[in-house]
Structure formats: C-alpha cells, structure tokens
Structure 1
Amino acid sequence: MKVLTVNYEKCTGCRLCEMACSLGHFNFFSHWYSRIRVVKGETFFRFYPQFCTQCGDAYCVRACPTGALEKRFNFVQYEKNKCILCRQCTFACPWGLIYPDPEMQFMIKCDICGGDPECVKVCLQDALIFVDAEESPEVKHFTNVSKMEGGK
C-alpha cells in the first residue's frame, strides 16, 4: 500500500501542489478547489501541506448517512451522486480535510489522483512523496508508538 506523506522541513509554501491539484481535477487553477491545502504555521517560514490521510478507521465514512464515502482498497472514496451535502463528514474528520466546494455543489477530499498524485509530480523541493507505507516516516513513527504501547 502506498501513502502520500510530507517532509515538512522541505516545504517552502510555494503552493504549486494546490495549483496542480485543482488543474488536474477541474482544469483550472484555484486554491479553493484544491484537495491539498498549504497552511502557514505560527513559526517563521514553516508551511504544512494538509490532505486527507485516508484514515484506517475513517470517521468521515462512519458519519456519512448516505454511503457517499466508502473505504475501498485502503482509500476513502467519494461518490458525488450519493452525497446530500449534509457536511457530517466535515464535522467528523478530526482535521476538517473534507470540505464543500465554494459553490456548495459537492465535497472535496484528496483521492490520491487514482494512485499518481499530481502534487508529488510538481513538488520542486520533494517535500511531498508517494511511497510504500513501510517507507513512510509517519507510518514508521506510529507503528513504533503502537508497539511501545503494547500493540502489534
């Protein structure tokens, strides 16, 4: 299984990832239609790309009353035709990384571009990477923490 991950030390906040995402999905450039958002941190020149992390036990999927969100092949998939725009998924997501488009016609969330993320292709600093889960620093960290806490 591959995961999208970030090396925050490398991110310069250029927002090319946002533009590539909106262009790839909607054929125009718009921060508001991007499925990845770059947030400026409180510390000087620190930026944090944020996107759906495809949670193992996805709260958004459990919160959706219509089945518009479904976990398939380790990714949370969104089906626009089933969505009633109730925003229960937004409220359920601990990070608020599924949100309505500016015109309130559908929800926006990272879909990993079907396994070939546009954001990774344009990241000049290599801050965004799409790697096997075993190679991800975040996955290794959480696995080690789980083992320390008595998990597998």
Structure 2
Amino acid sequence: MKRLILLAVWLGVLAYAAVMIFWGPSGFYAYRQAREFRQTMLDNQEILSQLQAVYLHRLQALRDRPDELAAEARGLGYVIDNEVVLRLETATGQPSKPLLAGSCLVYQPGETVSDKRAKRLGFLVGLGCFLATGILWLASSFMASRFREPKQAKLA
C-alpha cells in the first residue's frame, strides 16, 4: 500500500511538472510566444531605422538644395507672391500619404495554465493513479485468494 501511495504522489508530481514545463507561465509555450514577439519588435525596429534614414536623407536635401525646399513648400500649399498654381490630383482623388511604420508594441502574454490549475491537475492525476492501482491491487488479491488450492487436512 505504501508503494501505491508513493507511485500516486510521484505521478501527480510528474503531471504537475509536465504541465508547468510546457504550458505554464514560464514554459515552452510562453517562451515561444515571447520569442515571436521579440522578432516582431526587431522587425519593427528595422523598419523604423530604414524610415529614419530616408527622412534624414530628405532633411539633408531640404537643407542643401533650395529647389527641393521650394517643391516641398508647394506640396504643403505654400506659394510665392504672384504665383499661379495648377494642382493635379492622383487617380484616387486623394493625395498619397506616407505609411507610418512605428506603432507602439505592447507584449501581452498568451493564455497559459495557472499554477493553481496545474496543481489541481497533478492532484487529480495522482488521485486517479492511486484509485486505479488500488482497485487493481484489490482485484488481484481477490483473484489470488479465490483460486488458491484448498489446504488438505493431514491424516494422523
């Protein structure tokens, strides 16, 4: 009986450990989600770096070349005195807007198994193992006692 209890406790602990290792808050599943989010952040950082390089190049062009500055000012709607402006619209009728790459990324951990649920699962596995092995032990002892050879009385 002592072995049954130890086996049940051992299997319950193994079930708890397995659940926590794979689906717990610090388990493999949570680690994989965090790693994927890290890659998303690195990709976002790369896009922002490229966008910064483009804007830095554009700023340098605006500082160094007056014709670029005048074109940018006209694009914003500024005109020189006594200047007539002819504006052509794009095919959609709306001026094109630059894409904004840098959105705020907030890490939200995915659904994992809480410690309390993992402990309950471990307890239920241990209890189930204890009950199953107890029933098997009782059945085997019953069957063994039923099929024993009857003792014969000694004749004196």
TM over 0.5: no
TM-score (norm 1): 0.18
> Which is helix-richer, 1 or 2?
2
TM-score (norm 2): 0.17
Higher radius of gyration, 1 or 2: 2
| Bigger share in strand | 1
Relative contact order: is structure 1 or structure 2 higher (C-alpha 8 Å, sep ≥ 6)? 2
